[in-house]
Amino acid sequence: GQSLEQPSEVTAVEGAIVQINCTYQTSGFYGLSWYQQHDGGAPTFLSYNALDGLEETGRFSSFLSRSDSYGYLLLQELQMKDSASYFCAVRREDTGRRALTFGSGTRLQVQP
């Protein structure tokens, strides 16, 4: 089977840096994805890591260590609009790697 673990809540202040961790267990790993979801909205794709290392996209970066079955999303220069839930996800082997399994999500609250 597959499972993903991430913290349920994280709180940080505006302008700070926050790291959201994700550990996974899966047979046949094909990359780790991150999605953002604001309250009442739809998830939106942030990043995808297939190889070890850090991927940077503006204020957001995502890191993967396949040997540790671990990844994280790093948000820099936090803004109030970053308050949202963040989900890590891996591709499901039982769907021919087409569909994703999502973690339960980390709710990020940015305080002024």
Partner 1 sequence: NAGVTQTPKFQVLKTGQSMTLQCAQDMNHNSMYWYRQDPGMGLRLIHYSVGEGTTAKGEVPDGYNVSRLNKREFSLRLESAAPSQTSVYFCASSESTDGYTFGSGTRLTVV
How many beta carbons lie within 10 A of that of residue 48, not counting itself?
A: 15
Least distance to partner 1 from the beta carbon of 95, Å?
Answer: 6
Tokens 């979801």 locate to 37
Residue 51 lies near partner 1 (rule: CB under 8 A): no
Residue 95 lies near partner 1 (rule: CB under 8 A): yes
Residue 48 lies near partner 1 (rule: CB under 8 A): yes
Rounded CA gap, 2 and 106, in Å? 18
Beta carbon nearer to partner 1, 42 or 112: 42
Beta carbon nearer to partner 1, 34 or 72: 34
The two three-digit tokens of residue 87, written as one number: 């989900």
Q: Which residues, at least 6 apart from 11, have a Cβ–Cβ distance to it below 8 Å?
A: 108, 109, 110, 111
54-83 residues in contact with partner 1 (CB under 8 A) are none
Rounded CA gap, 98 and 82, in Å? 29
Residue 99 lies near partner 1 (rule: CB under 8 A): yes
What does the binding site for partner 1 look like in residue numbers (CB under 8 A)? 8, 30-31, 33, 35, 41-45, 48, 50, 87, 91-92, 95-105
